[in-house]
Structure 1
Amino acid sequence: MTLEISGAARDALEGWLTASRALKGSAENTITAYRNDVLDFIVFLTSYHAEPQGLKALARVTTPDMRAFMAHLRAEGASPRSMARKLSAVKSFYRWLAEREGFEPTAVLSARAPKFQKKLPRPLGEDAARAMIDTVEIQAADSWVGARDAAVVTLLYGCGLRISEALKLTGADWPMGDSLRITGKGGKERIVPVLKVARDAVATYLQLCPFEPEPTQPLFRGKRGGALNPRLVQKVTEKARMQLGLPATATPHAMRHSFATHLLSAGGDLRAIQELLGHASLSTTQAYTSVDSVHLMKVYNAAHPKAG
């Protein structure tokens, strides 16, 4: 049986999502995840209390209610990571709702998420990253497809781009100069330098590509001329890593991790790398670089004016 939530609760949820779009610039995928997570919570309360949950009912949520919700998620088989994500969305919704409706959201905000071991990114070594690009290029039946795949992976490693960012490039981005203006998560723009090796890889692809680069069309095309599917990039890197005997963590996104790690190892500044990656938080960049605390302290001691 599908439970109906109250109109007031639904309106509040949509109001919060609209505010998240406007104030935080949240991407649509994020908005969809937020909606589903908070809907799960409201539907749970509706079932748990056997009545629709209007704004007054939502304001009366108790600590036992929150414990029951977490127990419900656990019984449904949700992973600790998934439970933590859902609780984070509910807390964000309640901060907004409490300020708007004037109630105290302590019961919700004090709820604790289960602990889980965060998976640290595993970058490739420099030789493995180069081998990945070379292998991707030679495994396609069509030379232009191999050149295309190598160009995409080179941009991931050479510029620290996400797959989605590389595949959003259009003919208007060619010819490439020394830098690219990239629109990342949440519509945040950043400027990334483009190495000559990356420009050359894209140039080789375009020389072989049967489709002319058009300003309004994707730069990277599928075999029929449409936008290249990101899943195809994942498949070719998966095939390459198996040929090279690399671990399952050698994914397209690992090339981005490698970009950050190798920059830091070469003496790059964490704050500058944060800007290049488009991270909102420096702590996220530290995780991506996958370096130990000893190396971080060396960077700190070398850079801080009062160190030593």
Structure 2
Amino acid sequence: MMKILTFLWLSLFSFYCAANTDTTAIKKHLKSITKTASYRNPENLNQLNAIADYIKKDFLKYSGKVSFQEYKVEGKTYKNVVCSFGTENQQRIIVGAHYDVCGDQEGADDNASGVVGLLELARLLKGQKLNKRIDLVAFTLEEPPYFRTEHMGSYVHAKSLKNNKVDVLGMISVEMIGYFSDKENSQNYPVAAMSKMYGNKGDYITLVSTNEKGKFVEEFSQHFKQAKAVKTEEFNAPRSLPGIDFSDHLNYWDFGYSAMMITDTSFYRNKNYHKKTDTMETLDIRRMAKVIDGIYIALLKLTKK
């Protein structure tokens, strides 16, 4: 009897957790974020703020706890957008993605794809009863010239968590999740020998962290892989490996939090990186949706146990 009950419980839980990321909504969001009058960079502050407003407006459909985290750089005000699920005093998981771009380009994969992931996660999380708090955070100023400075939106956010002694379980940076290829030699690596381990096709998503990844990263990665939503590989390597800290998670590492990046490996695969050719037409919407499904299922398993 116990085995039957366990099987039924697992079956119900799997059904309950089953994500249904909306590819039509993904396309709509990508178009709204990338096909704009000007490019969402610090030189076009009005456009950058318009995207922040768009993100906030969509978040508000799914949560009553949405706010801007504003800060100034050289007299100009920039905004992170924070959307929360769960109660204030619960242990917190941060899921973040940056909405700014590098220079004059649409930045569909880098990083409208990650931001759209947050918007879809908000829709999926609406009404869920969680035993931990989840904060979805759309960061500003991740790209050069502010990368690796205290002006990054993620630095400001991570520092505020530390200053306020918030109990953070871990952080996930959703950084470029839309570009896939089944062609031979479509995947490169910082070390050539890695191709023997991971293959030469860019047909998978990666879960990236350091060798000292921490309990949160281990558990999230396990749940993500068990969901089997999309082909997945893990990269755990020293922080000195080029590319392993090339996103917002680096600031959470610096403040002592367990953090990781989910990525299609950026410029090691997507040759449109930081170019005008990084458009939504180049993205694999179906597999991008599956990545979002995997994140959602893993988050539910972490917050309902």
* TM bracket (short chain): under 0.3
Structure of greater Rg: 1
Higher relative helix content: 1
TM-score, with structure 1 as normaliser: 0.24
TM-score, with structure 2 as normaliser: 0.24
